[in-house]
Structures are given as C-alpha cells and as structure tokens.
Amino acid sequence: MSEVARGSEIVVRLRGQAGAALSPSLELYRPREVVRVALGRPPREFLRILPLLFPLCGTAHAVAALRAIEDAGAVQVSPMQQLARRVVCLADALAAHAWRAEFDWPALSGDAGHPLRVAAARRATDGLVRALYPDADLLTPGGGRLAPAPGFAAHWSAALRDVSAALELDRHLASLQRAMPAAMAGADPGWLSRLQTRFRVVAAQARADAHALLGSLPALDGAQAPASPTVALDDGIGEGRVDTARGELAYRVVLRQGRVVDCALEAPIDRVFGTAGEAAGWLAALDRAARPQAAARWVVAALDPCAPVRVEQEALADA
C-alpha cells in the first residue's frame, strides 16, 4: 500500500508476553507525498485543495501554508487579517478538541461517544469562517474580504461558549481516571499519575484555546477590510506557522513563476511520534503490564496523537 493511499497511522509493535518485559517499537507512517498532488498549481488552487487532504485540522494546514506563500511572495498582511486568521485557527482547534473529547477519550474509557457534539463543533467552525469572510475567500494571499455582520461578537461568543461547555471535559477526565487502573494493571504504579497528568494537560489546553477564542472575538466586531487584489507573487521560499490543538504546525513552500512547486510540513505528530520523539521513550519504559496492548494504547493516547493508532503484540519464541 502506498503512503498516499494509507494515510497517517501510528503502529506500536510489542514483542513479549503479558506480565513480562516488553520490547516495543514505534512506527509513524506519514503520507508526505499526499501534498504533492497539489503541487504545480497557482497558490489559490493549491490552498483550495490542501484542506481536503487533512480533514481533522484542514483549516490550520491551509492557513499555515497561506502564511508560507505570503512569506515566499513578499506579501504584506494587515494586523486585522492576522487576527481573523488566528480566530479561525482557534475555532479549528476547538473542533479538534471536540473530536478528542467525544470520540478518542470515550473509546479509551468505554463510554459512549457523542458524534453530534463533534458535528456541532465543526458546524460552528465553518459558520464562523463564513461570518468573517462572506465571499468564502479566507485563503486569499494578502487577505480576503473581511466583513463580519453587526453583532458578530455577541452571537459567536454565545454559540462557541455553548460548544465548549458541551464537551464536559471534567466528566471525561473522571471517566478516564476510573478506567485507567484496569488498563495499566501490572505496569509500574507511577504510570497512573503520569497519564493522569498528561490528560489533564490536554484538557487544560482545550480550555485555554476556548478562552483565547472567546477573548479574541470582540476585536473583530465591525472589522472591515477589502480583499487583497490579485497580484503576481515573487519567486521565493517562505515559511508559515500556526498554533493548533496539539502544538505548532509549520509549512515551507517554494514559489516559482506563480506556482507552488515544492512544499514541506512539520506537524506536532512528527515531533512527538517521530524517531527521536517523546513517545518512543515512554513506550520503552512500559513493561510488566497484564494487558500490554491496552496499556500501550493508553500511553500513546496520553501523548495526544492526531492519527489512528494500531497496537500489535508478538509473543517471544521459546528459548
């Protein structure tokens, strides 16, 4: 299977037996070639395709790439446009937090997920973008037409506050805490406090992102900015960065003759689950678990991946 067809995936392989020392290995499959299907196109076409390739944090990917294109093409962007983009990315992060709280965490704790809450968060994010950019031109180099309607801040503050409150992070954390001892049975008791701390950190980030989002809305009330005129972008190499639900996302693009000819990205998953990432060290310290596959899944989940996780166990051959 090709990387493009496969998609992102984290594979943990455990060599050993329940209750014994384990020899874990971690592999991160990243479809780096998937971005290449958008190369060779003008920036607006490239940016239109990019969110389709990353369904979980597509808006963040597109804005990071937009900033890289602007950097490469020496395009100036107003502070108000930058603020609007930050608000859009914070809303995208809220949708990612909703996915985690209502899909990923219930799968660990054995609770029922709430897909309707995830859908509500996604609708709110999409609605916020339309409210800020009624011409659907957020991804215009230099900035689209920014024109929120009167009462923008009051309406969206209420709507997004409701979305955030519906996530019930404290209840999910309590469920995780109840289910964790069974999953980590047999492993070093220190794992319980270690994992609890990590899940609390993730929840705190969700709250901080929601707070930052709500606090940024009033500054956009009445904001008006025309769309940037279409201009020929200079050849160059540029970088763009965006804060996401899981950390910083960075893009590097190369512009030649008005087209994006090369692109590279580094996402939080690359730093945490890559060869020298934190996850490998955590897994190396995991042994003696009565249910190794379950324990490994919890350890990986605490590090907050944005890709599916597969855990395989291979028994050691008799000596």
The most confident of the ranges 9-18, 188-197, 226-235, 303-312 is: 188-197
The Cα–Cα gap between 277 and 299 comes to: 14
Identify residue 309 by its one-letter amino acid code. V
CA-angle at 315, arms to 311 and 319, nearest 5°: 155
CA distance 50 to 44: 10
Rounded distance, CA 86 to CA 92, Å?
10
What's CA 71's distance to the chain center, in Å?
23
Residue 100 near residue 118 (C-beta atoms within 8 A)? no
Residue 132 and residue 142: Cα distance in Å, rounded? 15
Please say whether the beta carbons of 198 and 180 come within 8 A. Answer: no
Mean pLDDT lowest among 4-8, 139-143, 280-284: 4-8
Q: What is the mean pLDDT of residues 299-318?
A: 80
Q: Which domains does the chain have, with CATH numbers?
A: 41-274 (1.10.645.10)
Do the beta carbons of residue 96 and residue 55 sit within 8 Å?
A: no
Residue 142 has a pLDDT of 94
User: Residue 31: what pLDDT?
Assistant: 63
- Radius of gyration of the chain, Cα coordinates, nearest whole angstrom: 21
Chain position carrying tokens 């020899």 = 23
- Which pLDDT value is given to residue 33? 63
Burial letters for 158-195: b for 16+ Cβ neighbours within 10 Å, e otherwise? Answer: ebbeebbeebebeebbebbeebbeebbeebeeebeeeb
In this prediction, residue 32 carries a pLDDT of 60
Instruction: Give tens-digit pLDDT for 51-95.
Output: 888 877 889 999 999 999 999 999 999 999 999 999 999 999 999
**Confidence class for position 225, pLDDT limits 50, 70, 90:** very high
N- to C-terminal Cα distance for the chain?
Answer: 35
Express as a percent the part of the chain with pLDDT over 70: 94
Contacts 24+ apart (CB under 8 A), 46-55: 46/260, 46/263, 47/139, 48/139
Write down the pLDDT at residue 4: 34
> Is residue 311 within a helix (H) or strand (E), and if so which, with residue range?
strand 309-314
Nearest CA-CA partner of 56 in 106, 31, 92, 91:
92
Amino acid at 198: R
**231 Cβ contact partners less than 8 Å away, ≥ 6 residues apart:** 75, 141, 142
Q: What is the spatial distance between Cα 59 and Cα 147, in angstroms, rounded to a whole number?
A: 19
Element containing residue 293 per DSSP (H, E): helix 292-302
Q: Which are the contacts of 25, defined by CB distance < 8 A and separation ≥ 6? A: 12, 13, 15
pLDDT digits 0-9 by tens, 105-150: 999 999 999 999 999 999 999 999 999 999 999 999 999 999 999 9
Tell me, what's the pLDDT at 27? Answer: 87
